Amino acid sequence: MIRALFVCTGNSARSIMAEALMRKHGGEDFEVFSAGTEPRGVNPLTVKTLEEAGLPTSGLSSKSVQEFLGQQFDYVITVCDQARQTCPVFPGSHESLHWGYEDPAEATGTEEERMAVFRSVFTQMSLRINEFVVIARRTQTAAPVATN
């Protein structure tokens, strides 16, 4: 199983969407989590965006990256520039990746204008995660098997 952790500052939008998308696209091959360097709670427009896409939202919550210290991940992926600078180091062999996205939680205007930003970021993430899942599975399959 491939373990991935998505990290952003508030764990309210981008990392939550990434977690839900990776669970959908990765299926049983992935164990996926999200966390924030300064968790603020899940943004209601994040939930609305995920529900519009038909993705489950139960069990999604804003968590601190501190909860995951000491755990090993195959991939630690920051999805905002600030989290990239403040994300703690995780033990073990893994890849640290950075996928910078606009923060939809900072969008202003009417609810529909703000939802347009959430949908845009969601679509960008969905495309990238779909491609990433294929690559991560290939990499996992190609990894040498330890023998005793």
Q: What is the pLDDT of residues 97-109, one digit of tens each?
A: 889 898 999 999 9
Q: How many CB atoms lie within 10 A of CB 2?
A: 17
C-beta separation of 36 from 66 below 8 A: no
Q: What is the pLDDT of residue 69?
A: 86
Q: What is the pLDDT of residue 80?
A: 81
pLDDT at 56 over 70: yes
Q: Domains in the chain, please, with CATH?
A: 2-142 (3.40.50.2300)
Give catalytic residue positions: 8, 80, 87
C-beta separation of 75 from 4 below 8 A: yes
- Asked whether the whole model's pTM tops 0.85, one would answer yes
Lookup: tokens for 138: 């290939």
Q: What is the CA radius of gyration of the chain?
A: 15
